[in-house]
Structure 1
Amino acid sequence: MRILVALDQSPFAVTVLEKAIALAKTQGATLSIMTVAEDFFDLGDYLDVVSVTDKIFAATKADAQKYGDLAKASGIDAEVVVEQGVSPADLIIAHAENKAIDMIVMGHQGKKGLSKYLIGSVAARVVSHAPCSVLVIR
């Protein structure tokens, strides 16, 4: 079994990772940890998006490495994947399709307030379009 755990940089991400590690252990599964650095190139006319995007990517990559280290300390040698793009949901779905993932584990939290309703829930989109089962941690 191949499990993909999709994490953001929220404090809740560690809880999601812990659940995915426990599931991988009980199922004898391989675990991939994926984080997505959001890309703001569509705002290029208004601000210097290259430096902002580079900083976001670097911070996301550092968090992803911490998640990988946490998995390793728990006895799971996980692959760490960092992507960058406008739609985290689309990148998660594409990765699951390309790598023949059997299950995606992700949290229900993430975007808050008005942006959740304007942009839509990443988890809801993944659940609707994923090529495999999705476990949403609450």
Structure 2
Amino acid sequence: MVQRILAPFDESPQSNAALHHALSTFPNADIHVLHVTDPREWSSMNMDGGFYSQEMYDQAQESATALLEQAESIADEYGTTVTTAMRDGRAADAIVKYAEEHDVDHVVLGSHGRRGLSRFLLGSVAERVARRSPGSVTIIREKEPKHGD
């Protein structure tokens, strides 16, 4: 049976390292790469209680598409392909839900995402995914490796 691996992906060095780890450690797996866009990044509060910006949402989706194309390029370096997906929502919730919906066996994610540098030991997203994931979880702390090193 082929393992199904989920590698959440953002622009952080730890996320890149996690994807490299998944590709090198599980060369025969069905690897899914997920990018989650948090609505709090493309909407903001105003005096009336809320503000939604279609332009900011469109920019977030364009950025997500570019990131997933980058993930596909990284997979190409390993001679493989990945399944990519985008979701909107809070990162940990979206990651766990995706893992449940796609019968993911194992999640490989970075210890800190793009905003995780302020966390002391473990990013809140990684911690919540580790606690709630339906399968096993590997948390990668190091920065992005060079393929072939």
Both proteins in one fold, TM over 0.5: yes
Q: How does 1:37-116 map to 2 (within 5 A)?
A: 37-40=37-40, 43=44, 45=46, 47-85=51-89, 87-110=90-113, 111-112=115-116, 116=119
Moved over 6 A (4+): none
Output the CA distance in 2 between the equivalents of 1:101 and 1:91: 13
Query: 1:73 offset after TM fit, Å?
Result: 2.5
RMSD, aligned CA:
2.1
Equivalent in the alignment of 1:6: 8
Residues 70-114 of structure 1: per-residue CA shift (max 9 Å, x gap): 1023112110111122x1111110110011000000000122355
Output the CA distance in 1 between the equivalents of 2:138 and 2:117: 23
Secondary structure in 2 matching 1:105: strand
CA contact (8 A) 2:24 2:78 kept: no
Query: 1:49 offset after TM fit, Å?
Result: 2.5
Q: Does the alignment pair 1:133 with 2:144?
A: no
Equivalent in the alignment of 2:144: none
Gaps of 5+ in 2: 142-149
Secondary structure in 2 matching 1:12: helix
TM-score normalised by the chain length of structure 2: 0.79
Letter in 1 for 2:76: K
Greater helix fraction, Structure 1 or Structure 2? 1
Output the CA distance in 2 between the equivalents of 1:42 and 1:61: 19
Gaps of 5+ in 1: none
CA contact (8 A) 2:14 2:111 kept: no
Identity %: 27
Equivalent in the alignment of 2:146: none
Output the CA distance in 2 between the equivalents of 1:123 and 1:12: 11
Letter in 1 for 2:12: S
CA contact (8 A) 2:8 2:33 kept: yes
Query: 1:13 offset after TM fit, Å?
Result: 2.2
